[in-house]
């Protein structure tokens, strides 16, 4: 994925994209900031987005903390992830659980709760019988 992101940034001429490889649950925030500054960045981002990634990490809370601290105050933090389908869509629950298990995700992780707990001006959306959860907010 890193190679694909690098190629895309180069093709599009995105000079403000800095890619860093590492384990998001153990990566040192200060080391990331140093690496970003070494590449001409300012050490914090305007926004961060985790799409179907945090539920793949057994220690997603640690990754969330790092993500949160790498975004500037008043910056945007967003999480898109999944949970068990609800209502009429609950019939698809076994399929959702199987797909998550097959893909290595924890359907019960609910990482968007980090946005609800730690951000202000939180906006909420869901789709597919609440199976897909979206949260976005601002870092205080």
Q: What is the pLDDT of residues 100-111, one digit of tens each?
A: 999 999 999 999
Number of domains the chain contains:
1
CA pair distance 95, 29, nearest whole angstrom: 37
* Highest mean pLDDT out of 2-6, 33-37, 133-137: 133-137
How confident is the model at residue 65, as a pLDDT?
A: 94
Looking at residue 43, the DSSP 8-state letter turns out to be S
Q: What is the pLDDT of residues 28-44, one digit of tens each?
A: 888 888 888 888 888 78
Residue 27 has phi, psi (to 5 degrees) of: -60, 135
Range of the domain at 78: 2-138
Q: Is the Cα dihedral 108, 114, 120, 123 positive or negative?
A: negative
Report the run of H or E that residue 29 belongs to, with start and end. Answer: helix 29-38
How confident is the model at residue 15, as a pLDDT?
A: 85
Lookup: tokens for 112: 């968007």
CA pair distance 43, 36, nearest whole angstrom: 6
How confident is the model at residue 40, as a pLDDT?
A: 81
pTM: 0.87
Residue 34 maps to which CATH number? 3.40.50.150
CA pair distance 28, 105, nearest whole angstrom: 24
Q: Work out the average pLDDT over 73-78.
A: 96
Query: Which neighbouring-strand residues pair with 138?
Result: 76, 120
Q: What is the pLDDT of residues 90-101, one digit of tens each?
A: 999 999 999 999
Q: Work out the average pLDDT over 75-90.
A: 96
The confidence band for 21, taking pLDDT boundaries of 50, 70 and 90, is: confident
Q: For the chain, how big is the Rg over CA atoms in Å? A: 16
The confidence band for 127, taking pLDDT boundaries of 50, 70 and 90, is: very high
């Amino acid at each position: 994925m890193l190679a694909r992101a690098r190629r895309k940034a180069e093709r599009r001429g995105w000079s403000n994209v800095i890619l860093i490889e590492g384990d998001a649950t153990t990566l040192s925030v200060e080391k990331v900031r140093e690496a970003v500054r070494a590449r001409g960045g300012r050490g914090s981002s305007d926004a961060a987005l985790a799409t179907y990634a945090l539920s793949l990490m057994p220690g997603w809370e640690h990754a969330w903390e790092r993500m949160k601290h790498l975004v500037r105050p008043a910056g945007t933090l967003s999480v898109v992830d999944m949970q068990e389908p609800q209502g009429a869509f609950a019939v698809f629950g076994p399929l959702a659980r199987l797909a998550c298990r097959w893909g290595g995700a924890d359907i019960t992780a609910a990482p968007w709760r980090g946005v609800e707990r730690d951000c202000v001006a939180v906006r909420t959306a869901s789709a597919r019988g609440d199976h897909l959860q979206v949260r976005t907010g601002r870092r205080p």
